[in-house]
Amino acid sequence: MSLVRNVLFVYLCFEMLATAHKWLLSGRLSFDPGTPSFALWFLLSLFIWRAILPMLSTIRWVVPLSVGVALVAGLAPSIGPAGSMSRTLVYLPVFLLGWKLRQHGLRHLLDRRWVPWASAGVLAVWIVTITTLFLDDGLKKRWFSMMRPYVRSDVLGDLEARALILVGGGMLV
């Protein structure tokens, strides 16, 4: 019940505010909680992840399997922005990795003196890499949105980019 109150209810409230905002700007009133506005996709995805976590926790190799699902999801044109399903599937491995690390009690490792410095270094390298790629036009914004299927003319490029983004997300976890 707390999941519904703490995540789904908050999502629906903010989705109603976003709908009111769009209505004030455009004059069209259209409340569609199945297609999240702005960055609200994360709340809907978080609700789904936490709701299915008890089922996923019974699967032995759930993190590697979720990586496979995340990479294959881009091949299915029917998986798109509706219900935030594309993003939910693609970012599921990052959620599961964080859950697994917490489950295995690795929290004591975070108390070491070098961890904040190493974390800051990883974050700095990630930011510099992403900024450099954006400035050189080597990175496409659609790769980070994870809303659409792979582009037919560049499936391997999209697949490679999604894999690299997942590796980067795993490093940041």
| Structure-model confidence comparison of residues 134 and 92, the more confident one | 92
> How far is residue 45 from each of residues 39, 92, 129, 150, measured CA to CA in Å?
11, 9, 27, 20
**Rounded CA separation 134/12 (Å):** 33
* pLDDT on residue 138: 58
Q: Which is higher by pLDDT, 17 or 155?
A: 17
Check residue 32 and give its pLDDT. Answer: 80
More confident call, 131 vs 91? 91
Q: Cα(77)–Cα(92) distance, rounded to whole angstroms? A: 19
Please work out, in degrees rounded to the nearest 5, the angle formed at the alpha carbon of residue 36 by the alpha carbons of 68 and 100: 40
CA distance 110 to 114: 9
